[in-house]
Amino acid sequence: MKRIFSGVQPTGNLHLGNYLGAIRNWVRLQSEFECIFCIVDMHAITLWQDPKELTRNTREVTAGMLAAGVDASKHIVFNQSTVPAHAQLAWIFNCVARMGWLNRMTQFKDKAGKHKENASVGLFAYPNLMSADILAYRATHVPVGEDQKQHLELARDTAQKFNNDFGVEFFPQPEPLIFGAAARIMSLRDGTKKMSKSDESDYSRINMTDDADTIALKIRKAKTDLEPLPATLDGLEGRPEASNLLGIYAALSDMEKADVAARFAGRQFSEFKKDLVDLAVSVLGPINAEMKRLMDDPAHIDSVLRSGAERADAIARPIIAEVYDIVGFLKP
């Protein structure tokens, strides 16, 4: 059986990059896999989170996923902290994975920056919690962005070491499903920077909560250069903003970027942007409306998460019971 586990942090400002780079891929995987999608609130608190914001963002990310087409009745959507297996297995993995392995994680170095001594212990142990997320369900496939590949390799090493240490064939080696670089969406203000929730300019990104007028305004204001659009991809060399807008058009329309270039060859940006606005509004408009509707009904979102947590718990609980047995813990 092919089982997917994937996680997303509830850190707010869901944007077009999250949609095209992650959420939309999840929606598409639903026809092929049994999917478990987790809003990783425990990972979020490895960096300081305002409690009220964390609650709000957990609901917002859930709403974004549901609005984009994640089917929470056929698959599982829940928030991490409500299923004990994650914390239970993470502790065991803290005792399986080695300091040396975690010391090599580039994300810790990036996030801790110069203040390593002042980073939370949780930030350092973050990858072990991620391994626990995946392996508590014995998931076989993990869709992740390029940036999480190293963590997934660590999960594979941890699974292997656990199996070796205890002389069992218990955990599978989870396979990455890496999302293509094609879906790397850049800032609308600077084509060399990733579109990001933390950019101080709201004009740098299209949020999943932006309405049609806002989307139109942001695309009209998006940075471009003075040349008309090129006929081929070679003509995008040294034109990061043009390249990004064509890439966004391609991703939203499910076309090849080269075909988008051919379609708009020689046209002015002002014309191209009109078409891009129509396309973006046609794709994001319905998602945005549904997200708003869901956000107005937090009780419904909470009930979706609770139902997901019950079903997630039903899968993980017996796996944790076996792990306890293997480790030699007396059963509770």
128 belongs to the binding site for ligand AMP (CB under 6 A): no
111 in active site: yes
Indicate the residue among 39 and 283 with the shorter CB distance to ligand TRP: 39
What residues from 21 to 50 belong to the interface with ligand AMP (CB under 6 A)? Answer: 21-22
* Total of residues contacting ligand TRP (CB under 6 A): 12
Q: Calculate the CA dihedral of residues 274, 277, 283, 284 and round it to 10 degrees.
A: -170
CA distance 102 to 8: 21
Q: Closest approach of Cβ 184 to ligand AMP, in Å? A: 5
Q: With contacts defined by CB under 6 A, name the span among 1-9, 95-103, 197-205, 312-320 that binds ligand TRP.
A: 1-9
Q: Closest approach of Cβ 182 to ligand AMP, in Å? A: 9
**Residue 195 three-state SS:** coil
The answer to whether 276 and 222 have CB atoms below 8 angstroms apart is no
Q: Which long-range contacts (CB under 8 A, 24 or more apart) does 303-310 make?
A: 304/62, 304/66, 304/72, 304/77, 305/39, 305/58, 305/62, 305/77, 305/78, 305/79, 305/82, 306/78, 306/82, 307/72, 308/72, 308/76, 308/77, 308/78, 309/78, 309/79, 309/82, 309/83
Per CB under 6 A, the list member of 26, 78, 179, 269 interacting with ligand AMP is 179
The answer to whether 10 and 41 have CB atoms below 8 angstroms apart is yes
Indicate the residue among 142 and 154 with the shorter CB distance to ligand TRP: 142
Q: With contacts defined by CB under 6 A, name the span among 127-135, 216-224, 226-234, 283-291 that binds ligand TRP.
A: 127-135
Characterise 3 by phi-psi region: left (phi > 0), alpha (psi -120 to 50), beta (else).
Answer: beta
Measured between alpha carbons, how far apart are the two ends of the chain, in Å? 30
18 belongs to the binding site for ligand AMP (CB under 6 A): yes
CA distance 137 to 313: 9
Q: Closest approach of Cβ 162 to ligand AMP, in Å? A: 26
**Residue 60 three-state SS:** helix
Indicate the residue among 65 and 216 with the shorter CB distance to ligand TRP: 65
What residues from 139 to 168 belong to the interface with ligand TRP (CB under 6 A)? Answer: 142, 144, 148
Element (H, E) at 5: strand 3-8
What residues from 189 to 218 belong to the interface with ligand AMP (CB under 6 A)? Answer: 194-195, 197
79 belongs to the binding site for ligand TRP (CB under 6 A): no
* Total of residues contacting ligand AMP (CB under 6 A): 15
Per CB under 6 A, the list member of 9, 46, 128, 288 interacting with ligand TRP is 9
218 in active site: no
Instruction: Report what 189 binds from ligand AMP, ligand TRP, none; CB cut-off 5-8 Å by kind.
Output: none
Indicate the residue among 24 and 138 with the shorter CB distance to ligand AMP: 24
What residues from 236 to 255 belong to the interface with ligand AMP (CB under 6 A)? Answer: none
How many other C-beta atoms can be found within 10 angstroms of the C-beta atom of residue 89? 27
Q: Calculate the CA dihedral of residues 80, 82, 84, 86 and round it to 10 degrees.
A: 0
197 in active site: yes
- Residues labelled as active-site residues: 111, 194, 197
Which parts of this chain interact with ligand TRP (CB under 6 A)?
5-7, 9, 40, 43, 130, 133-134, 142, 144, 148
